[in-house]
Amino acid sequence: MSVLFVDVEAMSRWISDRGAERILVELAKAIESDFVRWQAFDKTPRLAAHSPDGVIELMPTSDGNQYGFKYVNGHPKNPERGYQTVTAFGVLADVHSGYPTMLAEMTILTALRTAATSAMAARHLARRGSRVMSLIGCGAQAEFQALAFKAVLGIDSFRFWDTDPDAMDKFERNSQRLGLKATRVADPLDVTDGADVITTCTADKTNAIVLRDDSVAHGVHINAIGGDCPGKTELDPHTLQRASVFVEYTPQTRVEGEIQNQPEDFPVTELWSVVQGVHPGRRDDREITVFDSVGFAIEDFSALRYLASQVAGSSYATTIDLVAEPSDPKDLFGLTVLRGRSLVTLGARGV
Residue-wise pLDDT for 136-189, tens only, equals 999 999 999 999 999 999 999 999 999 999 999 999 999 999 999 999 999 888
Options 34, 162, 228, 292, the catalytic residue: 228
Statement: residue 339 has pLDDT above 80? no
User: How far apart are alpha carbons 252 and 241 in whole angstroms?
Assistant: 20
Statement: residue 348 has pLDDT above 70? no
Q: What integer is the mean pLDDT of 291-306?
A: 97
Using 50, 70 and 90 to split pLDDT, how confident is the model at 61? very high
Statement: residue 204 has pLDDT above 90? no
CA angle 307, 90, 144 (to 5 degrees): 60
DSSP states of 222-240 as a string?
EEE-S--BTTBEEE-HHHH
Considering the domain architecture, whether residues 318 and 244 belong to the same structural domain is answered as no
Q: Which residues pair with 120 in a beta bridge?
A: none
Considering the domain architecture, whether residues 193 and 320 belong to the same structural domain is answered as no
Considering the domain architecture, whether residues 88 and 133 belong to the same structural domain is answered as no
User: How far apart are alpha carbons 89 and 307 in whole angstroms?
Assistant: 13
Model pLDDT, residue 10 = 98
Q: Which domain holds residue 168?
A: 126-296
Statement: residue 307 has pLDDT above 90? yes
Statement: residue 51 has pLDDT above 80? yes
Considering the domain architecture, whether residues 206 and 324 belong to the same structural domain is answered as no
| Percent over 90 (pLDDT), the chain | 83
Q: Which of 12-21, 90-99, 201-210, 288-297 has the lowest mean pLDDT?
A: 201-210
The answer to whether residues 110 and 86 touch, using CB atoms and an 8 Å cutoff, is yes
Statement: residue 347 has pLDDT above 70? no
User: How far apart are alpha carbons 22 and 266 in whole angstroms?
Assistant: 37
Residue 120 resides in a domain: no
Considering the domain architecture, whether residues 222 and 77 belong to the same structural domain is answered as no
User: How far apart are alpha carbons 291 and 244 in whole angstroms?
Assistant: 9
Residue 287 resides in a domain: yes
**Residue 107, SS3 per DSSP:** helix
Q: Which residues pair with 70 in a beta bridge?
A: 59, 90
Mean pLDDT of the chain: 93
Considering the domain architecture, whether residues 141 and 283 belong to the same structural domain is answered as yes
Residue 348 resides in a domain: no
**Selected residue with higher pLDDT from 198 and 347:** 198
The answer to whether residues 259 and 240 touch, using CB atoms and an 8 Å cutoff, is yes
Residue 343 resides in a domain: no
CATH of residue 63's domain is 3.30.1780.10
228: annotated active-site residue: yes
Considering the domain architecture, whether residues 200 and 273 belong to the same structural domain is answered as yes
What's the domain count of the chain?
2
Considering the domain architecture, whether residues 179 and 276 belong to the same structural domain is answered as yes
- Which pTM value belongs to this model? 0.93
Considering the domain architecture, whether residues 78 and 23 belong to the same structural domain is answered as yes
Considering the domain architecture, whether residues 310 and 223 belong to the same structural domain is answered as no
Considering the domain architecture, whether residues 269 and 184 belong to the same structural domain is answered as yes
Residue-wise pLDDT for 109-118, tens only, equals 999 999 999 9
CATH of residue 165's domain is 3.40.50.720
Statement: residue 223 has pLDDT above 70? yes
The answer to whether residues 122 and 221 touch, using CB atoms and an 8 Å cutoff, is yes
Residue 349 resides in a domain: no
**Last residue within a domain, chosen from 247, 272, 296:** 296
Statement: residue 126 has pLDDT above 50? yes
User: How far apart are alpha carbons 205 and 86 in whole angstroms?
Assistant: 13
Considering the domain architecture, whether residues 41 and 136 belong to the same structural domain is answered as no
User: How far apart are alpha carbons 344 and 324 in whole angstroms?
Assistant: 18
Q: What integer is the mean pLDDT of 25-50?
A: 96
Residue 17 resides in a domain: yes
Run of H or E including 6: strand 2-6
Residue 159 resides in a domain: yes
Statement: residue 351 has pLDDT above 50? no
Residue 117 resides in a domain: no
Q: What integer is the mean pLDDT of 274-303?
A: 97
